[in-house]
Amino acid sequence: MVRTYLILFKDMPINRSDVKRGENHPKVIMAARCVNVALFLSNAMRRDVVLSICIGDDAQWEVISFFGETLKRVSPDERSISFFILKAIDAVNRLDDGDTFTLDNGIVVERVAPAKFLGRWEHIRMASDRYGDDWQVEGQTDVVYLYDVDSGFTYDEKDFVLVPKTKTPERFILDINMIYDRTE
């Protein structure tokens, strides 16, 4: 069973000189930590996890997806991950609407409308301060966990199951992974 996380950002202020100096914007640090927690914080690479960083608004997303199953040559340190995010953003900026491209290390980038992207999953769990108590992870397949950092993504609550929102997306990913680890 594959777990998928979507972390939504309005923008991703990143540039080569900041990455080289290790002086990244807090959003870049947050995104890198999400990759680290989602894929590397375990005994080995989590092959059953996909992390997608979605940048944009309600009209268009630039998506950078790290597939644990096929990811190559990515190490768990923030600086290394930041370089890969920079490289992925450069690649996605060259895409036309609806296009997808796979980098040589297995990172997949695409430019897509949010509704089309979210249509890939049957069950969407949205991190919210207004969550209900009726959600569970056991036995669920085809599920995506969505955490909006600051994109202002608008949605109809009836289309999502609301789940507890933690203070940071990294903690959200960690908590969900721990729940799955206990049930497997």
Structure tokens at 28: 């870049």
Q: Does position 142 have pLDDT exceeding 80, yes or no? A: no
pTM: 0.91
Q: pLDDT tens-digit profile of 152-163? A: 888 777 778 888
pLDDT band at 132 (very low <50, low <70, confident <90, very high): low
Please check the confidence at residue 139 and state whether its pLDDT lies above 60. Answer: no
Q: What is the pLDDT of residue 138?
A: 57
Q: What is the mean pLDDT of residues 112-126?
A: 91
- Residues β-bridged to residue 66: 51
> DSSP for 93-110?
TTPPTT-EEE-TTS-EEE
**pLDDT one-digit tens code per residue, 80-117:** 899 999 999 999 999 999 999 999 988 999 999 999 99
Domain 3-183: give its CATH superfamily: SPOUT methyltransferase, trefoil knot domain (3.40.1280.10)
SS3 69: coil
* pLDDT surpasses 70 at 141: no
DSSP state of 122: S
Q: What residue ranges do the domains of the chain occupy?
A: 3-183
Question: pLDDT tens-digit profile of 10-56?
Answer: 999 999 999 998 889 999 999 999 999 988 866 555 777 899 999 99
Confidence of residue 136 (pLDDT cuts 50, 70, 90): low
Return d(Cα 181, Cα 163) in angstroms, integer.
Answer: 18
Say if residues 172 and 165 touch (Cβ distance below 8 Å). Answer: yes
pLDDT of residue 91: 96
Which has the higher per-residue pLDDT, 175 or 74?
Answer: 175
pLDDT at 14: 94
